């Protein structure tokens, strides 16, 4: 199975900041990488697919990059509602696997 490792596991930032979350795959996955946002008690929400394509309706403050094994999610101009948990997912091959999550906290 392909292992997905997110870093950091938690991150403190302030409203208005720009942050970057990293996701590393244990083997190359081309650009078959997605990012999700999850608020407490809610279902995950799709943000980005194919490493850098924005899901319809998602604001442009979210951006993704990378290919192969190293990927990043960048969130600019943080607002209070952005301080939740983010997951990456590889869907290059069976079984699809997720990172362990990054919790974004208000400083």
Partner 1 sequence: EVQLVESGGGLVQPGGSLRLSCAASGFTFSSYTMNWVRQAPGKGLEWVSYISSSSSTIYYADSVKGRFTISRDNAKNSLYLQMNSLRDEDTAVYYCARGFSCSGGGCYHDYWGQGTLVTVSS
Residue 80 Cα distances to 26, 31, 58, angstroms: 33, 30, 16
Q: Does 46 bind partner 1 (CB under 8 A)?
A: yes
In the complex, the smallest distance separating the C-beta of residue 31 from partner 1, rounded to whole angstroms, is 10
Answer yes or no whether residue 32 interacts with partner 1 by CB under 8 A.
yes
Smallest gap from residue 6 Cβ to partner 1 (A):
9
Residue 10 engages partner 1 in binding (rule: CB under 8 A): no
Which CB atom, from 36 or from 62, has the smaller least distance to partner 1? 36
CA distances from 34 to 15, 17, 22, 63, 71 (A): 25, 23, 12, 11, 10
Residue with smaller CB distance to partner 1, 4 or 78 = 4
Residue 79 burial (CB count, 10 A)? 11
When asked if residue 22 is in the footprint of partner 1 (CB under 8 A), the reply is no
Cα torsion 79, 83, 84, 87: sign? positive
Contacting residues toward partner 1, per CB under 8 A: 32, 34, 36, 42-46, 49-50, 55, 87, 89-101
């Amino acid at each position: 199975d392909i292992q997905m490792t997110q870093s950091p596991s938690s991150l403190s930032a302030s409203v208005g900041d720009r942050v970057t979350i990293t996701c590393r795959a244990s083997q190359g996955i081309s650009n078959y990488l997605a990012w999700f946002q999850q608020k407490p008690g809610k279902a995950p929400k799709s943000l980005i697919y194919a490493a850098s394509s924005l899901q319809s309706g998602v604001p442009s403050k979210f951006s993704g990059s990378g290919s192969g094994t190293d990927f990043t999610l960048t969130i600019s101009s943080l607002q209070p509602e952005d301080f939740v948990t983010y997951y990456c997912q590889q869907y290059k091959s069976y079984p699809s696997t997720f990172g362990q999550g990054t919790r974004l906290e208000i400083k």
